[in-house]
Structure 1
Amino acid sequence: MRDFNGIFMRFGIYNMRNISTWLSILVEFSLLWPCIMSMYFLNIPTQETKLGNRVRVKRGWIWEPLYVTEEQEVKKPMYVGQLKTDSGGHDVSIRYVLFGDGAGTIFVMNEYTGKISVLKKLDREEKPFYTLRAQALNRVTGVPVEAESEFVIKVLDINDNEPKFINEPYIAEVSEMSPKGMYVTQVIAIDKDDPANGNNARLVYSILQGQPQFSIEIKSGIIRVASQIDRETKDQYQVIVQAKDMIGDAGALSTTTTVIINVLDVNDNAPKFPQKTYEMSIIESAIVGEIVGTVLAYDIDIGKNAEITYSMDERGDYNMFNISTDRLTQEGIITLNKLVDFESRNRRYNIQVRAENTNKPELFDMATIRIYVVDVDEPPVFLERKYFMEIPENVPVGSYVGSVTAKDPDNINTIIRYDILHNKLSKLFEIDPNNGSIFTVKSLDREVDLWHNITLTATEAKSPAYVSHVCVYIQVMDVNDNPPQLQNLPDLYVCEKSRIGQTVYTVTAVDKDEPETSHPFSFTQPPEESIIANFTITDNEDNTATILTAQEGYSSQDNPLYYLTVIISDNGSPSLSSTSTLTIKVCDCGIDNNTESCGKGGYFLNFMNSGVIIAISVFILLILVLALLVHVRCQKNHNIMSEKGEDLKENIVKYDDEGGGEEDTEAFDITGLRHHTVMRERKPKRTIRTDIQSMYRLSLGLGPDVAIFKEFLSEKLEEANTDKSVLPLDYLHCYAFEGTGSPAGSLSSLSFTETSVSEIDTFY
């Protein structure tokens, strides 16, 4: 029905204004519709048959260039171009169909004419072209009348994008004093517009800020040094660079970026003193090394280029002071090198100080420093910083050692008082407070203390607060007062089979005195021993002497010990000597005739063989006899004591249990306490109370005691009372029946009635 509407439109049906006529035509058309359709479809096979009998002429697409300019505002479909077949545009039987990118949403095609329209604004930077496909179909059958064709709609570029710098931020460095044309850095910008479409994406660079120090190449964006730059004037530049498209033509778009250029320091500046002359002062009592003052020079360079080293020109009074460099603060520290004295003529000193660049000594500056000495009230000063004195040992008490002198530097007529700071060693000396003379107060011995160190003080008589100190070192000189002595002398042995002239031992002597005055020593024998001698002494003249045998063989039986007298003399003035007696033991040295085995028991066996063993045997026998006598007597006393109280002392005394009251006493068998091996006679009884009861039991009212236990206690009490050979206090060893407790709360407490106590007292 839609196809016929087109036919009606061609014939001007729509121009009919008479509605009735229009309605009649519609009725007639409806009646004729079946016939028309049958004729139409019957005609199709005839055409196909004709096509089969003859070659069909190929039809093609007729193209137009298809372009869309980007960023165009589209309020209604905007015509782009047309696609049609070469069969002509009036064939109403052909229907055009569009496929591909944006078909139906961005682009539409008129199915009758093949005209293509765009529906919305496009952006080339988002999509530069669209690929679509078109197809021509038979409107009735839907059979393609043309092969499917692919085409492209290009989006034309306009200059709608400004350049953009990449790799931001830009930070560069350049050394000061760099020559013109020195490369600094490069900036790069990009433009999203189409570089192939005119000059939309062609950029040029320029500097908006940063001239005349820097310049930029128009096309590459390379920044170079344009004029000499000085870091001390400005150490950082912010160069603003502009990038513009369309080669800067009218309507061009642009953007800017900032390039931070840091200027690197070059060591091109010398240190400078703020002033050419400095004035300082120092008190006359200052010690060596004390700080006088500081100076500071400035170098406008930075880092290592600004490091300064201070020195002193060898002019003027340079030797009185030193100067050093503080690396942290870059100050020159002036210190005192020698002591100054206000009372001397030099009360002002001039020095020349040099401040030079550490890395470039040719860059320097000079300054003059005037140093004034300030007077102060000073304590006395000793004429020497320390004193050394000597005194012989063993000098009499009160001997003069030496003297010290101190003066007041402010007034030479000031009276000075001297004293000793006493310590353990200074008690050996005393000093005259008026003239500083030192004397001994005790005897000195070099062998005990070689040096004595004392500290003296000097004080102004009018100003005791001002005190100065000095050390005095007193050396005790040696006097030959110690005779030589033998050193480290072991046990000496001589073999029985020794021959004349054999070495027995080499002795060594020492002397507490100094070697220079007492060595070497001489070794001799007394004249009486040298005539008839068993041994001889040979002086080796090196403070040693060798003992030699003087006879053929020695007998341990006849004479096991020999004594040798040695006289040792030194070469002092006067000479001192000592006499030592050596004991030489005779030893059976065995086959090898070696004395090494003598100290391991050989001599002891020989000594035993000489009769000492008999004496030891007699002594041991006497000890055994004495021990036997003591044993016999002790045994006799033991039998007597055991007969009297064996049952009680060996059995009852071991009973240390508190007991369990009635149950305990009833369970206890008294017969086990008796010693059946000892027979004793019954002694006559003495009238005593046999009804002794525990006071604790009576207090508790526990009933009568066991009869057999009461009988046992009574018997023991009777034996103790009638035994005349025992001391009266023996009754304290008697026992009473304990029961379950006692008034005293402890074991073995006795409870007596008044009657029993009185009877015992009467008996004794």
Structure 2
Amino acid sequence: MIMNHFLWLLPLVFPHLSSPVILLERNDGNLFHNWSYQMKGDKMVLHRSKRDWMWRQFFLSEEYMGNNNQYVGKLRSDKDRGDGTARYVLSGEGAGTVFRIDEKSGDLHATQRLDREEKSSYTLQAQAFNRITGLPLEPATEFIVKIHDINDNEPKFTRAVYAASVPEMSDVGTFVIEVNATDADDATYGNSAKLVYSILQGQPYFSVEPETGIVRIALPNMDREVRKDYQVVIQAKDMAGQMGGLSGTTMVNVTLTDVNDSPPRFAYSSYHLSTYESAEIGSTVGRIKANDGDEGENAEMKYRMSDGDGKEYLDIITDEISQEGVIVIKKKLDYETKRVYTVKVEVSNTHQDPNFFHLGPFSDTAIVKVTARDVDEPPVFSRTQYVFEVNEDTPKGTVIGTVTARDPDATDYPILYAIDQHTDPERLYHIDPKNGSITILKSLDREVSKWHNISVLASEMNNPHQRSRVPVLIKVLDVNDNAPEFAMIYETFVCENFKAGELIQTISAIDTDDPLVGHKFVFSLSSLNPNFTIFDNEDNTARILTRRSGFNRREMSVYYLPVVISDSDYPIQSSTSTLTIRVCSCDATGTMRSCSVDALLLSAGLSTGALVAILLCILILLMIVVLFSALKKQRRKEPLIISKEDVRDNVVSYNDEGGGEEDTQAFDIGTLRHPEVIESNKLRRDIIPEMLFPYHRPSPMKECADVRDFIISRLQENDTDPFAPPYDSLATYAYEGNGSIAESLSSLESSLTEGDHEYDYLSNWGPQFKKLADMYIGKDTGIAN
């Protein structure tokens, strides 16, 4: 409500106003007045005019508990003469539902129970009408009904349960959390919404500020290891905490977080462990653990060996998962040497907080004693391996070395020795089972094997299962027992036009022996040779030189030169190797053109198999040519089969081909004759008796100037050979065999035809074969036509 003296400020704020305007309604007792001002000249004159409406100030309390409608006030217009002609009409918020007006008297009532927290005020309009004419007596006027607040709402916290954490050992007054509560009552009217915070549970550890709701540490040195979780109950009360006020509560769960304020501590000052002396290196003996009240990384620990006579044999490692110290074997324990091994173990935190060093050292120590238990151990050799050397010519039965082993146990049982036969399959060595001396059973050869690796087994006499082994390496030393020889097979030739002193070959030697200072070979000839000489280069090579001029391959195609090779070791070994030297035809530059047929073909780079194949082809061609010539000469002779009736049913066996032209004795065609024609007491005309001409096999290919000479010489040999075709028999050629180029040459078909059979197979085979035959056989041989 604005006071009267505020009205005098209006002309100053709004100097441009010059006409009367209603600015403000002021309650002056039971009447409301309109205030206005008018400018007269340069002065402002206030004017107050009385309104037509008259009623009380309207305020209504919430939560009315009465049985009747709650009276709000009376509305009355100065135009109402009281004769009952005025009728009052209400409109606006809640008109007709929440508020009702008596049309005649203007009394205003609230018909419902109102809640300020739902709606704090209502804006309404009232107007008076003439009941008879229905005309308004004055314009409608707006008024407000305000709801007065009562303390009907308790404080409510924003959360039912709060969670907070604070480091342990925090100082007094350390902030923990701030709680907040609200009150739905009107904070501008009275103390209904004025809250005060207090702590109902959680003392003396925590406190709360009454006005702000901030929770703080109230007790110093709160230890998480003693107590970790706290439940604090906070109350908020309205009416400024006075008696009769409403209140609400909330729960605050406070957790103390860990700081590294607890050093690790062993539960015992000493620990006793035991293990067998046979425990392997790295095996676990036992575990120990220190206690640390912290958690997380603040509880991480590390262990180490700090002192003790067992520090050389034992070690400790940290198990990062279980935070235990694991005692392990660092070096093999020996019950017979030492029974108890003592070490000092230290534990400390990995992460240390310097703020808590005043609490004492963050480490602890304990004594660990490990007792070794006795076990029956296998024998122990004096060495991890043995190496012996022996000459390869050492006689059988010679002792080359001795191995020794002992029983490490206190009982000290006798030891038996043996050789693992899998490592000595040839049974070259023998070991004395009692003293361990190794002897040779067979002769050794360094050139076969330079090293012999065997295993010797040692076992206790009383307990053979207790066994151990050791490797024995035997090095076979070299003795000069092998003579040197040519380093390779030399293919040496000399040209016919070479002069004396010409180099024809450089030779070298190899020796399977292995002298300490290297090989030194000496080359010489076994005897004086008129054709060749040798020159020792004194670098384990020698040169072969011609001693004369003029070599003739027709006179001597091959020379054999014995060369003596000696070494320089003791005893001196020597051998004689023969160098084969062929005589060849060369050009002026010394390049070989031809030697013998073999040498010529070898120089062309052909292999032995290829040479044999070529020679066989040439021989087959020659035999075919001779065969054709013989057949031509026999074309006018009497056929073997006199008539067609002489052919018997056994001609089906004639399908067996045999071996071809080269098989001259495979089949006797005379068996196909009629039995009456055969004269058993006469010699056959088609086969020459063996007793008249002993069998003579042609010699291998002779040395010829060229292939043509070779072929001619072969023809001459076949002409003079009584067993070589042709002779008076068709049986040899009637049985071809497989591999015949001419296919079948059977005379059976000729016997079925009339007239003479054409035997000129050469012309029938075509010009290619005839050309081939003319190339190797001249017309002067007398067999081409």
TM-score, with structure 2 as normaliser: 0.62
CA deviations over 1:152-208 (Å, ceiling 9, x no partner): 322222222222222554222222222233222222222222222222222222222
Match of 2:399 in 1: 400
CA distance in 1, matches of 2:322, 2:363: 18
1:433-582 residue pairs with structure 2 within 5 A? 433-461=433-461, 463-480=462-479, 481=481, 517=516, 519-520=518-519, 522=521, 524=523, 526=525, 572-574=569-571
Q: Equivalences for 1:136-285 in 2 at 5 Å? A: 136-167=128-159, 169-226=161-218, 227-285=220-278
Change (3 A) 1:304 1:398: farther
Q: Secondary structure at the match of 1:260?
A: strand
Provide Cα deviations, 1:283-315, integer angstroms capped at 9, x if missing partner.
344444443332221111112221221211233
1:30-63, Cα deviation, whole Å (9 max, x unpaired):
xxxxxxxxxxxxxxxxxxxxxxxxxxx9964445
User: Shift of the alpha carbon at 1:133?
Assistant: 2.9
d(CA) in 1 for partners of 2:127, 2:586: 144
Output the amino acid matched with 1:383.
S
1:418 to 2:417 alignment: yes
Match of 1:725 in 2: none
2:365 corresponds in structure 1 to 366
Structure 2: which 5+ runs fail to align? 1-48, 354-360, 594-598, 654-785
Q: Deviations over 1:636-677 (max 9, x none)?
A: 99x97998789999xxxxxxxxxxxxxxxxxxxxxxxxxxxx
Following superposition, the deviation at residue 592 of structure 1 comes to 14
Aligned counterpart, 1:73? 65
The alpha-carbon deviation at position 78 of structure 1 amounts to 0.9
Aligned to 2:300: 307
Comparing 487-496 and 331-340, the one that deviates more: 487-496
2:429 maps to 429
- Residue in 2 that maps onto 1:118: 110
2:344 to 349, 352, 362: 352
Kindly provide the amino acid, as one letter, of the partner of residue 200 in structure 2.
Answer: L
Match of 2:317 in 1: 324
Higher normalized helix content (fraction of residues) = 1
Asked whether the 8 Å contact 1:289–1:336 carries over to 2, the reply is yes
Answer whether contact 1:484 1:521 (CA < 8 A) is retained.
no
Q: How much has 1:235 moved relative to structure 2?
A: 1.6
1:90 counterpart = 2:87: no
For 2:264, the aligned partner's letter is P
Query: Which residue of structure 2 lines up, in the alignment, with residue 127 of structure 1?
Result: 119
Secondary structure of the corresponding residue to residue 621 of structure 1: helix
Q: 1:372, 1:570 → 2: CA distance?
A: 68
Do the aligned partners of residues 116 and 285 (structure 1) sit closer, same or farther apart at CA in structure 2, a change above 3 Å counting? same
Q: Any conservation in 1 of the 2:53–2:75 contact (CA below 8 Å)? A: yes
Kindly indicate whether the alpha-carbon contact (under 8 Å) linking 1:59 and 1:87 is maintained by their aligned counterparts in 2: no
Secondary structure at the aligned position of 1:125 is classed as coil
Counterparts of 2:77 and 2:588 in 1: how far apart (Å)? 148
Between 253-262 and 499-508, report the one with greater CA deviation: 499-508
1:276 Cα deviation from its structure 2 partner = 0.8
What is the rounded CA distance, in whole Å, between the counterparts of 1:223 and 1:326 in structure 2? Answer: 42
Cα distance in structure 2, aligned partners of 1:60 and 1:490:
155
2:101 to 84, 109, 117: 109
Match of residue 386 from structure 2:
387
User: Which one-letter code corresponds to 1:275 in the other structure?
Assistant: Y
How far apart are residue 384 of structure 1 and its match?
3.2
1:293 aligns with 2:286: yes
Q: In the alignment, which residue of structure 2 is the partner of 1:698?
A: none
- Mapped to 1, the partners of 2:564 and 2:78 lie a distance apart of 158
Q: How much does 1:577 deviate?
A: 6.1
SS in 2 for 1:423: helix
Deviation at 1:79, TM superposition (A): 0.8
Q: Which amino acid aligns with 2:68?
A: K
Question: 2-side partners of 1:497 and 1:169: how far apart?
Answer: 124
The CA deviation at 1:526 is: 4.0
Cα distance in structure 2, aligned partners of 1:80 and 1:594: 150
CA distance in 2, matches of 1:188, 1:161: 16
1:200 maps to amino acid: S
| Structure 2 contact 532–545 (Cα < 8 Å) conserved | no
Change in 2 beyond 3 A, CA 1:590/1:141: farther
Match of 1:337 in 2: 330
2:397 partner letter: G
8 Å CA contact 1:348–1:371 kept in 2: the answer is: yes
TM-score, structure 1 length as denominator? 0.63
Q: Matched residue of 2:266: which SS?
A: coil
After superposition, the Cα gap between the structure-2 partners of 1:390 and 1:234, relative to the gap in structure 1 and judged at 3 Å, is farther
8 Å CA contact 1:523, 1:538 repeated in 2: no
Counterpart secondary structure, 1:218:
coil
Name the CA shift for 1:537/1:137 in 2 (closer, same or farther; >3 Å).
Answer: farther
The answer (yes or no) to whether the contact 2:457–2:470 under 8 Å persists in 1 is: no
- In 2, the alpha carbon distance for the partners of 1:251 and 1:494 equals 144
Partner of 1:736: none
Say if 1:279 and 1:493 are closer, same or farther in 2 by CA, change over 3 A: farther
Query: CA, structure 1 residues 260+627, in 2 after alignment: closer, same or farther (shift >3 Å)?
Result: farther
Secondary structure in 2 matching 1:622: helix
* Structure 1 residues 648 and 355: CA distance shift in structure 2, 3 A: closer
How far is 1:365 from its partner? 0.9
Q: For the structure 1 residues 234 and 589, does the alpha-carbon distance in structure 2 shift closer, same or farther, using more than 3 Å as the test? A: farther
SS at match of 1:517: coil
**Contact 1:501/1:548 (8 A) holds in 2:** no
Amino acid at match of 2:366: A
For this pair of structures, how many residues does the alignment match? 580
- Residue in 2 aligned with 1:604? 604
Letter in 2 for 1:421: D
Question: What's the CA shift for 1:400?
Answer: 2.0
Equivalence for 1:50:
none
Shift of 1:232: 0.8
- What are the Cα deviations for residues 252-282 of structure 1, in whole angstroms up to 9, with x where unaligned? 2222222222222111222111111222333
With 117-126 and 407-416 compared, the bigger mean Cα shift is at 407-416
Q: Secondary structure at the match of 2:604?
A: helix
Contact map agreement 2:265 2:364 (CA 8 A) in 1: yes
Secondary structure of the corresponding residue to residue 623 of structure 2: helix
Tell whether the 8 Å contact from 1:499 to 1:553 is kept in structure 2 after alignment: yes
For 1:380-438, what per-residue CA distance to the aligned partner results, in whole angstroms no more than 9, with x for missing partners? Answer: 33333443333334534433232222333445663322223331536433321121222
Q: How high is the sequence identity, in percent, across the aligned residues?
A: 38
The farther-off stretch of 412-421 and 565-574 is: 565-574
Matched position secondary structure for 1:319 = coil
How far apart, CA to CA, are the structure 2 residues paired with 1:600 and 1:184?
113
Task: Give the drift of 1:469.
Answer: 0.3
Q: For residue 573 of structure 1, report the CA deviation from its aligned partner.
A: 4.5
